[in-house]
Amino acid sequence: MRKSLFLWTLQVALTLFLVLVLAPAKVSAQEVSELLEKLDAYPDLIVLNGKIAVMDDQLTMVEAMAVRDRRILVLGTSEEVRELVGPQTQVIDVKGRTVLPGIIDSHTHPHLWLYNHFGSDPDFNPDPQLKVIPVLGLHEDDLDELTKSGIVEKIGAVVRKRAAELGPDKWVIVNIPMNEKVIQATPSPVIRQRMVNTADLDRMGPNNPVVLTGSLTSGIYNSQARKLISEAIGQDIDSLRPVGLRVWYYLVYDIILKNKTEMVAGMLKKELLEIASFGVTTVQTHIEPLEVIKALNMMDHKGEMPIRWAWIHRTAFQLSENASEFYTLLGDFGGQGSEYFWNSGVGEEGWDSSPCSQAVPKDPAMREQLARLEQCPGHKPGTEPYNAHLAALKAGLRLADVHATNDGTTDIIFQMFDQLMEEDGWTLEQIREKRHFFDHPRLIRPEQIPKLAKYGLWMNMQATGMVRNIDQFLNVYGEEYLKWFTPTKSMLDAGARFTLATDAHLASVPNDSALGAWPWYGFWPTFAFYITREWDGRVWGPEEKLDRISGLRGWTTWAAESVLREKDLGSLEKGKLADFIVIDRDYFTIPEMDIKKIKNLMTAVGGKVIYRSPDF
């Protein structure tokens, strides 16, 4: 139970009065200390000699803080706070280092990223069927020398060997690693061009369900695998979009690990601890597999969640017969849950479709080709994705995790809100209060920014998405469109709301066994990008650089608002949950180009240290 500092101080003062004034004269200091301990009056944790960035409105800096019952109790000088140390108080001297609020990564997918460990880390293989076996020698550069039969033979040899190891009816999962020089989420051409098909996999593994992957968003399945997956999800495998990603969710958790909730919880806990080592104390992501929800609930109830998880409901968009009807009947539960596990909205990550932009290619032939294509075919008004999101809005639900990659998609979002106001009488203020949240805004036209501010729509920026696509985009469209890419400074100046996020696996994985969801860029280089706009030796759109405070707020105070927890998270103010990190250099004074070199030394969640570097 939370107690204010005043009540705590009063309790301590009253105790001392009773003991020292009214009690017998011969009362020892040890007895006083023991009584205070019994009253649970001492802080659980004290941090001393730090440069603690509170990140309140006044940008307060303090030397020390005391934590009790998961929350910040006192902020002050080291001398003042040291006086509160009790017999059981953990004292951490950070020796002048910078202390920041815990990082809130408002768009990342731990239950997806842990797949990258399946081929290389035995701790992430609680079931032998999860071990992903690489097929080497099929990188893009290798394919010129191989015939179709040669490709099939290479894959077949791996499949047959694995099937013999596991026995009949066990899942055989093999992977063609991405070309390690390609910095994109692009599957091998073997998958992309369907050089191998279902019939080929049937011949390779006639007695096993077989999955051939090229990345986490692609895959080819033999007949037995397709049958089992379709039966498990209650609909044909091809109905899931994108097929590969959705199938992986259900295959791993709700088929192979079905009813193995303890195993799933163990995997998730390891992944969350790994994320915490980079300084992340809260994540936000969608959840589809039931076993993931069960596992997180179980950990939450047992008090075993290492970090916090804001989850987004999107299952109905994929698996219900009528998503519009489902969300019409679903009451708003945004923000409900515990300190560690709560809902932050509903939405479909994959509703965005291309082409859906006013950007015009440089090449005349490409412009002509684009002119013949339908704009925004998959989510324009009248489509099921549009109708379902509009139904959710009309039901009073908060939209979150909805992709708005292209500027045309943002126009459609505006159209939905205009329709909501016109047909159902919603006011602008009512829309703003919901804090609707959209992801991957790769392209935002300058004239759209004031409208984003008007509606109070939150846009979640991922630098990883920008650097993966910027070269290709500029080659097609030209430098004049660079100002459309992640215009954070323009949004800040206009009062438009945004957060920053990774959308990346916070770990390094061997290239020959990684599923290659996306290459690992590193957390602090991603963080630094918004401040320096530098990547791979080039500065991209320097006019959109953020100042350091705004850059930090994008991961802390603003991110806390976006996950509906600003009263508890995002800053180190008195009474808030004590989520903080200690870093190895002073974020506020080092040269901007050195921000990407920062390393996290310690992570604490609710005043409990869950990661400490060997260097600290």
Percent of residues, the chain, with pLDDT higher than 90? 60
Tallying the residues shown for the chain, one arrives at 616
| DSSP-derived secondary structure for 486-533 | --HHHHHHHT-EEEEE--S-SS---TTT---SS----HHHHHHHHHH-
> Which has the minimum average pLDDT: 192-206, 302-316, 392-406, 509-523?
509-523
User: Residue 64, Cα to own-chain centre: how many angstroms?
Assistant: 30
E strand map for 338-487: 341-346, 402-403, 437-439, 458-462
pLDDT above 70: residue 361: yes
CA distances from 358 to 409, 416, 452 (A): 10, 19, 17
- DSSP H or E run through 400: none
Answer whether residue 56 is part of any domain: no
Q: Do 142 and 224 belong together in one domain? A: yes
Same domain, 294 and 183: no
Predicted local distance difference test score (pLDDT) of residue 525 = 86
CA distance 106 to 501: 5
DSSP state, residue 241: S
Residue 341, beta-bridge partner list: 309
Q: Which amino acid is at 133?
A: I
Alpha helices (H) in 235-383, listed in sequence order: 243-249, 261-276, 290-302, 315-319, 323-328, 364-371
Query: In this structure, are strands 600-605 and 608-612 parallel, antiparallel, or unpaired?
Result: antiparallel
CA atoms within 13 A on the CB side of 322: 7
- Structure confidence at residue 28 as a pLDDT band (50, 70, 90): very low
Q: Give the best-scoring range by mean pLDDT among 77-86, 119-128, 202-211, 375-384.
A: 202-211
For residue 604, what pLDDT band results from cuts at 50, 70 and 90? very high
Looking at residue 136, its pLDDT comes to 80
**Range among 130-134, 376-380, 401-405, 585-589 rated most confident:** 585-589
Element (H, E) at 550: helix 548-553
> Residue 182 pLDDT > 50, yes or no?
no
* DSSP-assigned states of every residue in 175-202: E-PPPTT--SS---HHHHTTSS-HHHHH
User: Does position 314 have pLDDT exceeding 90, yes or no?
Assistant: no
Distance CA 417, CA 407 (A): 16
In this prediction, residues 504-520 reach a mean pLDDT of 51
Separation between Cα atoms, residue 64 and residue 580, nearest integer Å: 12
Domain that holds residue 211: 127-256
Query: Do 544 and 456 sit in the same domain of this protein?
Result: yes
| Least confident window among 192-196, 200-204, 366-370 | 192-196
Residue 103 lies in a domain: no
pLDDT digits (tens, 9 = 90+) for 244-285: 556 777 888 989 999 999 999 999 999 999 999 999 999 999
Whether residue 597 lies inside any domain: the answer is no
Which one of 239, 256, 273 terminates a domain? Answer: 256
Look up residue 285 and give its DSSP letter.
Answer: E
pLDDT above 70 coverage of the chain, percent: 87
pLDDT of amino acid 507: 66
Using the 3D structure, point to which of 227, 256, 285 is the last residue of a domain: 256
The whole-angstrom separation of Cα 490 and Cα 546 is 9
**pLDDT computed for residue 578 by the predictor:** 98
Residue 36's pLDDT is what?
A: 52
- Name which of 596, 587, 549 is nearest 571 in CA terms: 549
Per-residue pLDDT for 370 more than 70? yes
pLDDT score, position 513: 38
The predicted pLDDT at position 312 comes to: 94
Average pLDDT rounded to a whole number, residues 387-398 = 94
| Residue that the structure tokens 């301990």 belong to | 37
Place 518 in a pLDDT band, splitting at 50, 70 and 90: very low
Pairwise pLDDT comparison (415 vs 523), residue with the higher score: 415
Across 251-255, 467-471, 519-523, the highest mean pLDDT is recorded for 251-255
Give me the pLDDT at residue 516, please: 38
The predicted pLDDT at position 508 comes to 53
Residues 444-468 pLDDT 10s:
999 999 999 999 999 999 877 777 6
**What distance, in Å, lies between the first and last C-alpha atoms of the chain?**
32
Residues 326 and 455 in one domain: no
At residue 232, does pLDDT exceed 90? no
Classify residue 579: in a domain, yes or no. Answer: no
* Joined tokens for residue 224: 């037995």
Residues 365, 371 contacting (CB under 8 angstroms) = no
Which of the pair, 23 or 358, is modelled with greater confidence?
A: 358
The overall average pLDDT reported for the chain is: 87
Query: What DSSP element (H or E) covers 286?
Result: strand 280-287
pLDDT at 242: 58
Residue range 181-191: average pLDDT? Answer: 59
On whether both 372 and 331 belong to a single domain, the answer is no
What confidence category does residue 365 fall into, taking pLDDT thresholds of 50, 70 and 90? very high
460/496 Cα distance (integer angstroms): 11
pLDDT at 181: 43
Same domain, 294 and 231: no
> Into how many domains does the chain fold?
3
Q: Is the same domain home to 365 and 339?
A: no
CA distance 12 to 440: 51
Q: What is the pLDDT of residue 10?
A: 58
Instruction: Clarify whether residues 378 and 442 are in a common domain.
Output: yes
Mean pLDDT of 127-151: 81
338 and 403 part of one domain: no
Which of 209-223, 230-244, 370-384 has the least mean pLDDT?
A: 230-244
Last residue of a domain, one of 236, 256, 276: 256
Q: Does residue 576 form part of some domain? A: no
pLDDT at position 226 is 92
Q: What per-residue confidence (pLDDT) applies to 184? A: 42
**pLDDT value of residue 246:** 67
The reply to whether 415 and 334 lie within a common domain is no
- Among candidates 528, 539, 474, 537, which has minimal Cα distance to 500? 528
The verdict on residue 431 lying in a domain is: yes
Residue 451 burial class via C-beta count within 10 angstroms: exposed 0-12, middle 13-18, buried 19 and up: middle
Tell me if 605 is assigned to some domain.
no
Whether 245 and 364 map to the same domain: the answer is no
103, pLDDT greater than 90: yes
Looking at residue 418, its pLDDT comes to 96
Q: Are residues 543 and 453 in the same domain?
A: yes
pLDDT value of position 214: 76
Position 350 confidence tier, pLDDT thresholds 50, 70, 90:
confident
Domain harbouring 435, CATH code: 3.20.20.140
Q: How far is CA 54 from CA 62, 205, 586, in A?
A: 7, 59, 14
Sheet holding 458-462: strands in order across?
402-403, 437-439, 458-462, 497-501
Does the pLDDT of residue 526 top 90, yes or no? no
Nearest CA among 227, 232, 191, 237 for reference residue 212: 191
In a domain, 49, yes or no: no
Q: Phi/psi zone of residue 252: left (φ > 0), alpha (ψ -120 to 50 degrees), beta?
A: alpha
Give the pLDDT mean for 299-316.
Answer: 94
Shortest CA distance to 260 belongs to which of 285, 290, 301, 236? 290
Evaluate if residue 5 carries a pLDDT over 80.
no
